[in-house]
């Protein structure tokens, strides 16, 4: 396993295989009547649905009851209120994806102070430490994802190109790491490229931010967006403006996979493995509730996805066949699925 980045406190990554549940572990968990709540940034994205499926499936295998699943809608106040309510309900553990590291830090600290095991996804709230304030952090290698996206976009850029970077204007470790890695890779490997960075504060602002970026820089020849939902929105705005350019992003959602199949406008995707990440988070949760130590940071590598391997990678990520629209578009551009090989 190759992991390019470090954890939020400089940790080296542990592989998910470090936290394997044996049949006797599952039997102990089933006999314990354990209760767990899940608090996510959103329940709307394909990533979130896959992550939640992995969590619930693994917990179900261990007889652990999921008593609540909360959609925070990217809103710190919603997450703070939800965590306060969960403390009153006293589950054995909470699996949470912090939506704004500094704003929600105190609320997460209160969870662990109440004796509830806290397992984090993607982000570590400001000032909280593994082994003290939370059990473990589970994420993708977000720095590696940014590198994959830069490597995938580079061959499609002419010499001296201007390239847009559409980042997320929030205290969000995962997306910040992707942006940093993308910029670093371009500065090292494509010093001829000029980067134009703009950030959206919320999904509702993606359209206006994309339009502002495109209008301020009429010579843009490429675009990187830090995850697939805003990338699809940005692609729609660029199409309305009559601006055609290659794009890369992170996460292999269904719409992103369809766009990638025709390389229009997406030419590469750095894919997380949210189902496996969810299974890993659930395994760590059970391990912690059984009184066993856990690694500080568990990370999974990203997948480099192009039109030539989108079918296989979709199956890896989704545990399901690629949509028929993906296959149809591949046929239209002359790619035979039987000729595809992972990159």
* pLDDT tens column, 127-146: 999 999 999 999 999 999 99
Task: Give the Cα separation of 40 and 51 in Å (integer).
Answer: 10
pLDDT at 1 (0 to 100): 55
What b/e sequence results for 240-257 when a residue is b if at least 16 CB atoms lie within 10 Å of its CB, and e otherwise?
A: eeebebbbbbbbbbbbbb
Mean pLDDT of the chain: 95
Q: What is the mean pLDDT of residues 28-37?
A: 97
Percent of the chain with pLDDT over 70: 97
Please give the structure tokens belonging to residue 330: 């591949």
Give the strand pairing for 303-305 and 266-271.
antiparallel
Question: Residue ranges of the alpha helices (H) in 92-227?
Answer: 105-113, 142-153, 173-189, 206-216
Percent of the chain with pLDDT over 90: 93
Q: What is the mean pLDDT of residues 50-65?
A: 97
Domain 16-139+274-300 has CATH 3.40.50.2300: yes
Quote the DSSP letter at residue 322.
Answer: P
pLDDT 10s digits, 170-211 = 888 999 999 999 999 999 999 999 999 999 999 999 999 999
What b/e sequence results for 50-79 when a residue is b if at least 16 CB atoms lie within 10 Å of its CB, and e otherwise?
A: bbbbbbbebbebbbbebeeebbbbbbbebb
pLDDT at 159 (0 to 100): 98
Q: What is the mean pLDDT of residues 73-92?
A: 97
Question: Residue ranges of the alpha helices (H) in 16-172?
Answer: 23-30, 46-61, 76-89, 105-113, 142-153
Task: Place 334 in a pLDDT band, splitting at 50, 70 and 90.
Answer: confident
pLDDT at 171 (0 to 100): 85
Task: Place 333 in a pLDDT band, splitting at 50, 70 and 90.
Answer: confident
Task: Place 163 in a pLDDT band, splitting at 50, 70 and 90.
Answer: very high
pLDDT 10s digits, 236-267 = 999 999 999 999 999 999 999 999 998 989 99
Class of domain 142-272+304-339: alpha beta
Task: Give the Cα separation of 227 and 168 in Å (integer).
Answer: 9
CB atoms within 10 A of CB 115: 9
pLDDT at 336 (0 to 100): 57
pLDDT at 341 (0 to 100): 36
CATH 3.40.50.2300 domain range(s) in the chain: 16-139+274-300, 142-272+304-339
Task: Place 339 in a pLDDT band, splitting at 50, 70 and 90.
Answer: very low
Write the CB contacts of 77 (distance below 8 Å, at least 6 apart in sequence). none
């Amino acid at each position: 396993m190759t992991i390019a980045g470090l954890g939020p406190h400089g940790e080296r990554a542990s592989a998910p295989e470090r936290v394997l549940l044996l049949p006797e572990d599952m039997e102990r968990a089933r006999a314990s009547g354990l209760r767990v709540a899940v608090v996510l940034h959103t329940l709307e994205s394909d990533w979130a649905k896959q992550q939640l499926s992995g969590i619930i499936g693994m917990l179900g295998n261990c007889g652990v009851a999921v008593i609540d699943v909360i959609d925070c809608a990217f809103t710190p106040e919603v997450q703070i209120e939800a965590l306060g309510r969960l403390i009153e309900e006293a589950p054995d553990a909470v699996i949470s994806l912090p939506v704004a590291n500094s704003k929600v830090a105190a609320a997460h600290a209160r969870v662990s102070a109440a004796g509830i095991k806290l397992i984090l996804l993607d982000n570590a709230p400001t000032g909280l430490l593994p082994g003290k304030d939370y059990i473990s952090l589970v994420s993708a290698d977000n720095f590696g994802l940014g590198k994959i996206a830069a490597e995938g976009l580079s061959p499609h850029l002419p010499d001296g190109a201007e390239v847009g970077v559409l980042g997320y204007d929030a205290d969000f470790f995962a997306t910040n790491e992707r942006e940093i890695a993308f910029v670093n890779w371009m500065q090292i490997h494509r010093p001829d490229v000029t980067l134009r960075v703009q950030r959206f504060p919320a999904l509702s602002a993606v359209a206006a931010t994309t339009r502002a970026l495109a209008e301020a820089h009429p010579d843009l020849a490429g675009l990187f967006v830090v995850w697939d939902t805003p990338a699809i929105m940005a692609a729609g705005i660029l199409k309305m403006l009559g601006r055609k350019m290659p794009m890369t992003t992170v996460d292999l959602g269904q719409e992103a996979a369809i766009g990638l199949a025709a390389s229009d406008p997406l030419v590469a995707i750095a894919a997380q493995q949210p189902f496996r990440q969810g299974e890993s988070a659930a395994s760590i949760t059970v391990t912690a509730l059984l009184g066993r130590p856990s690694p500080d940071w568990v990370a999974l590598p990203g997948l480099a996805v192009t039109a030539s391997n989108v079918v296989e990678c979709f199956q890896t990520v989704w545990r399901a066949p690629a949509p028929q629209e993906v296959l149809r578009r591949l046929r239209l551009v002359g790619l035979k699925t039987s000729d595809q090989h992972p990159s």
